[in-house]
Amino acid sequence: MFRTLRPLLFRINPESAHRLTIRSLAAWQAVGCPGAPSAPKRSPVMVAGIEFAHPVCLAAGFDKDAEAIDACHALGFAGIEVGTLTPRPQMGNPKPRLFRLAEDRGVINRMGFNNGGIDAALPRVAGTKRRGVIGINVGANKDSGDRIADYAIGVAKAAPLADHVTINVSSPNTPNLRDLQDPAMLADLLAACDGARMIGGRRVPLFLKIAPDLDAKALEPIVRTVIDGGIDALIVSNTTISRPELRSRDRGQAGGLSGKPLQLLAREKLGEVVAIASGAIPLISAGGIDNADEARRRLDMGASLVQLYSALVFEGPGLARRIANGL
Ligand SMILES: Cc1cc2nc3c(=O)[nH]c(=O)nc-3n(C[C@H](O)[C@H](O)[C@H](O)COP(=O)(O)O)c2cc1C
């Protein structure tokens, strides 16, 4: 069915196609996700004390405003990260800001944390059926005078409802956000988030998501800071600002590149982080995962879970289940 619909969806501009997808999923969810195929059968995976039904999860940015959590679980994802959510709503960058690189099976985005704000999203999280893991990914407003405080607000607000909260310091589309990966700044950020994560005696697991545009030398102190800062899992990685050889018309657009063209880099960065961390922290691999072999490869390299987003654009909504069943 997706193969038939894909040429039509590809005629619509990518952001409208994405809105249409989220609206359709939300409508399907509102009537209880009829016709959802049975959940993939695999043994569960424990990461940071959280049970995932299998290792295949949806990466942040697909359901930024928590509109279709139940539907995403019904598609077969063991976990979904909503967000990135910021303390105050924000428009994001001017459109167009999302580009499909069909010939390369990639995506370039410079969305800039467009979202309705964490206060608007949380009631939707509270109203879900929780048929899988729910992570809430938090970030800072672009015009914030105190970005670290924004993260602490996000963690404190998300903690009562989230299975885990992800600190996203790796989006390339908010100017200077990635500076928070600098070990000294990162230590301050993690201390502030650690202070915000306790809720009614429960310490919500904190995940951190890093960029793939860090060389092994820069990664070493970051990974050490993350481990020392009490982070429970590390997501490797976000989109890249680097540009391998690309063929698609929109290859020159500014923003973060994801999907197939990110695959090799994401693998390489996972390998480097595995070597540095040597088992001290669970790792989650993201970047260009588009089939069961690639997912298997990341798990064999040392990741505990995988996350994907861009491949959904090209492979359709059955992908999570196909990968989970194919592992
Ligand atoms: C359109 C788009 C929006 C994204 N928005 C976010 C976001 O808000 N927060 C975040 O942490 N990652 C965001 N990402 C990054 C993805 O979560 C993921 O880390 C990255 O795309 C690599 O995985 P993939 O190659 O499977 O897409 C976004 C990716 C895309 C394509």
Q: What tens digit of pLDDT does each residue of 45-57 get?
A: 999 999 999 999 9
Lowest mean pLDDT among 35-44, 67-76, 236-245, 311-320: 35-44
What is the mean pLDDT of the segment spanning 121-145? 96
Contact 110, 254 (CB under 8 A): yes
- State residue 5's pLDDT score: 79
* β-pair type (198-199, 202-203): antiparallel
Residue 8 has pLDDT above 90, yes or no: no
Kind and range of the H or E run holding 107: strand 106-109
Q: Name residues contacting ligand 1 (CB within 6 A).
A: 59-61, 64, 83-84, 98, 107, 109, 111, 137, 168, 171, 209, 238-239, 258-259, 262, 286-289, 308-311
Residue 304 has pLDDT above 80, yes or no: yes
- In the set 170, 171, 258, 310, the catalytic residue is 171
Distance CA 253, CA 321 (A): 32
Q: Identify the three-state secondary structure at position 47.
A: strand
- State residue 4's pLDDT score: 78
Residue 1 has pLDDT above 80, yes or no: no
Distance 201 CA to ligand 1 centre (A): 32
Mean pLDDT (the chain, rounded): 95
- State residue 87's pLDDT score: 98
Question: Higher pLDDT residue, 97 or 38?
Answer: 97
The pair of structure tokens assigned to 150 is 């924004």
- State residue 200's pLDDT score: 85
Residue 305 has pLDDT above 80, yes or no: yes
Lowest mean pLDDT among 35-39, 242-246, 319-323: 35-39
Distance CA 62, CA 73 (A): 13
38 labelled catalytic: no
Contact 313, 290 (CB under 8 A): no
Distance CA 53, CA 77 (A): 9
Radius of gyration for the alpha carbons in the chain, expressed in angstroms and rounded: 18
What is the mean pLDDT of the segment spanning 237-259? 96
- State residue 176's pLDDT score: 85
